[in-house]
Structure 1
Amino acid sequence: MEIEFAKLHGLGNDFVMIDDRAGELALSPDEVRALCDRHFGIGADGVILVRPPVGEGHAGYMHYVNADGTLAQMCGNGVRCFAKFLVDRGIAPSGPEGGELVADTLAGPRPIAFTVDGEGLLAEATVDMGEPVLDPAAVPVGAAPDATSPEGAPYVGELVLDTPWAPLTFCCVSMGNPHAVCFIDDFDALPDALFPDSLDKRLATLDVDAVGAFVEAHPAFPEKTNVEFAHAGDDAIAMRVFERGCGETLACGTGACATAVAASLTGRAGRTSTVRLRGGDLRIRWDDDGHVRMTGPAAQSFSGTVTIDRAR
């Protein structure tokens, strides 16, 4: 079976986008893994099927599957790429300077405002990511709340997990998918084993793959979790992310939102933050209406056709 696709990315967090508005394509987990394989396939952090909208007046439904073949509720960088796919192909209308649309996701509808470049292609998008979920049972995380937000919502702010390297502390937030955010205030205080080069202790040298994989599958997280490692500086929050079902990625939109919320809750930042990821910056606002709004770019790398062999 031959399929047309486009490869898009948000700050290096990349996706295979497939137009499935006919609703006829059902990819198996093995087929998703093959498409996302960076050696034998197209290579991506996930596959997004563009399907008919669920809500009246909405632009389309984003069916997102992780690189390991598991279904995901939401992807912040993915939904910006989804909007770009729709706008650039005229599926969603745009004015000379941009416009607005609503994307349906498993986590609910996501309103998006966007700007376009001189060729009418989407350049940047601001996504209303909704309100962060703090209730431990809804995140979900198997721990009792130990803190309360300024609005009176109980949450898990300091979950201490024993790891093979050292006890690590996490703030737990959901942005439609679960996140465990570990703030590192003093890198020198961490054990040498967390850094391949023990003489160079900083966020860039942290062994995110090993620690992230351990925390992702920890029993405290019944649906597994995305794992963020962050350092709040004077001008930005630096972050690396181990995505559930993917491994470390260059960027994670929901992770940036969760980290900005966690930084605000724990007094490390205000309600507006620049989150600096390996692939670039996202601007995050936790507005007075309780909604988190994420602004960042989306880009197309290339398009083509791929053959899926279903005879095997």
Structure 2
Amino acid sequence: MELHFAKLHGTGNDFVFVDDFSRDIELTAAQVRFLCDRHFGIGADGVVLVRPSDDADCIAHMHYINADGSLSQMCGNGVRCFAKYLVDRGYVPSGAKHLTAGTLAGPKPISFEVDENEKLVRATVDMGHPVLDPALVPVASRANAKSAQGVAYVRDVPVDSPWGTFSFTCASMGNPHAVCFVDDWEALPDALFPDAADKRLATLDLDKVGAFYERSPLFPERANIEFAAVGEEGIGMRVFERGCGETLACGTGACAVNVAASLTGRAGRENDLHLRGGTLHIVWNDDDHVLMTGPATEVYQGTVEL
């Protein structure tokens, strides 16, 4: 099969996009893994099939598949790229500034900015309200705290590992997230760093510790694992995504970290989230909705044989 595609990324979180408005493309897990392979395939964190939506309010449906072939409910960076794919190809009327994307996590309203060529350069996605109920995240732990609005959630729950105990605050932004804030890098074990004299977020062996916690029994559907540190210029974070491994950015992860930082009193409700691939601006507004703003970029188009 000859497959036409476009490669897009949002702050380094990259995707293979395929037009499937005809609904005649079904990719196997092996084909998805090939497309996402950075040595033998195109290279991406996931594949997006652009399909018609059954919801009349949505311009199209984002069918998102992780790099390992598993289906995902939502991807924050992916949905911004989804908007760009549609805007740049004329699926959105000229002059429009808003659209609604269909996802497995529900409709996502998006406002966007375009350049002089009517190409989308930046988008703000209404990611909806964070899900904190442990049974819905899901996380196999009782709620041990309440938000200012009285919503029960799992806060700083300690979880053992081969490298000691780490504490996680849990939320879902359409997919499950577990956020670990690190206040003292020197206190972490030497085995998690290539150089024991240089312990910081950038040098943490996230492939090791993230992979361990992703599949912890605490997370019955697995989870995206974030390690974060609050600073004067915002919140630094890295993310190990379920089904992908570490990615340069994660939109839902940035939203979850922002929510967790606010819930635990480490930061306010509006922050810049600094990821390896760039910065996302996140606002948890008074209506309990999380707004994510960031860029979307198309890299190239091509054809691949499957």
Global fold match (TM > 0.5)? yes
| SS across alignment from 2:164 | coil
What SS is found at the alignment partner of 1:41? coil
Query: What corresponds to 1:64 in structure 2?
Result: 64
Aligned to 1:27: 27
Q: TM-score, normalised by structure 1?
A: 0.97
Q: Structure 1, unaligned stretches of length 5 or more?
A: none
What is the correspondence of 1:115-194 to structure 2 with a 5 Å cutoff? 115-194=113-192
Match of 1:45 in 2: 45
Q: What displacement does 1:54 show?
A: 2.2
Question: Matches of 2:236 and 2:275 in 1, distance apart?
Answer: 6
Counterpart of 2:205 in structure 1 is: 207
Task: State the Cα distance separating 1:57 from its structure 2 match.
Answer: 3.2
Instruction: Name the residue aligned to 1:111.
Output: 109
Aligned residues of 2:9 and 2:296 also touching (Cα < 8 A):
yes
Contact persistence 1:93–1:99 (CA under 8 A): no
Contact 1:36 1:44 in 2 (8 A): yes
Kindly report which structure 2 residues correspond to 1:81-120, keeping only aligned pairs within 5 A, or say none. 81-95=81-95, 99-120=97-118
SS of the aligned residue for 2:97 comes to strand
**2:156 and 2:180 in contact (8 A); partners too:** no
| Structure 1 partner of 2:249 | 251
Q: Secondary structure at the residue paired with 1:188?
A: helix
> Matches of 2:161 and 2:278 in 1, distance apart?
29
Do structure 1's residue 242 and structure 2's residue 233 form an aligned pair? no
Query: For the Cα contact (< 8 Å) 2:83–2:101, is it kept in 1?
Result: yes
Identity %: 64
Counterpart amino acid of 1:301?
A: V
What is the rounded CA distance, in whole Å, between the counterparts of 1:54 and 1:11 in structure 2?
A: 30
- Listed one character per residue, the Cα deviations across residues 265-300 of structure 1 (whole Å, up to 9, x for unaligned) are 001110101000000000000000000000000000
Deviation per residue, 1:7-32 (Å, 9 max, x gap) = 00001100000000000100010100
Deviation at 1:92? 1.6
Q: Report what 1:219 is aligned to.
A: 217
Structure 2: distance between partners of 1:186 and 1:94: 51
RMSD over aligned CA atoms reads 0.7
Q: Tell me the distance in 1 between the aligned counterparts of 2:246 and 2:58.
A: 32
Deviation at 1:166, TM superposition (A): 1.0
DSSP-derived class of the 2:299 partner: strand
In 2, distance between residues paired with 1:266 and 1:46? Answer: 32
Q: 1:94 to 1:283 in 2, by over 3 A?
A: farther
Q: Segments of 4+ in structure 1 off by > 6 A?
A: none
Cα distance in 2 between the residues matched to 1:203 and 1:58? 39
Question: 1:94: Cα distance to partner?
Answer: 3.6
Q: Alpha-carbon deviation of 1:196?
A: 1.5
Q: Identify which of 231, 243, 264 aligns with 1:266.
A: 264
Indicate if the aligned counterparts of 2:22 and 2:51 stay in contact, CA closer than 8 A. Answer: yes
Counterpart in 2 of 1:232? Answer: 230
Give how far 1:190 is off: 1.1
Shift of 1:53: 1.4
**1:132 to partner: Cα distance:** 0.1
- Is the CA contact 1:179–1:228 (under 8 Å) kept in the aligned structure 2? yes
Letter in 2 for 1:71: L
Q: Hey, what's the Cα distance between the residues in 2 that align with 1:69 and 1:59?
A: 25
- Residue 65 of structure 1 aligns with an amino acid whose one-letter code is I
SS of residue matched to 1:197: coil
Q: Partners of 2:176 and 2:54 in 1: how far apart? A: 23
TM-score computed with the length of structure 2 as normaliser: 0.99
Counterpart AA for 2:159: L
Q: Report how far residue 58 of structure 1 moved.
A: 1.5
1:281-292 equivalences under 5 Å are 281-292=279-290
**Pairing partner for 1:195 from 190, 193, 196:** 193
Q: 1:162 and 1:93 mapped to 2: Cα distance?
A: 52
Letter of the 1:83 partner, please give it.
A
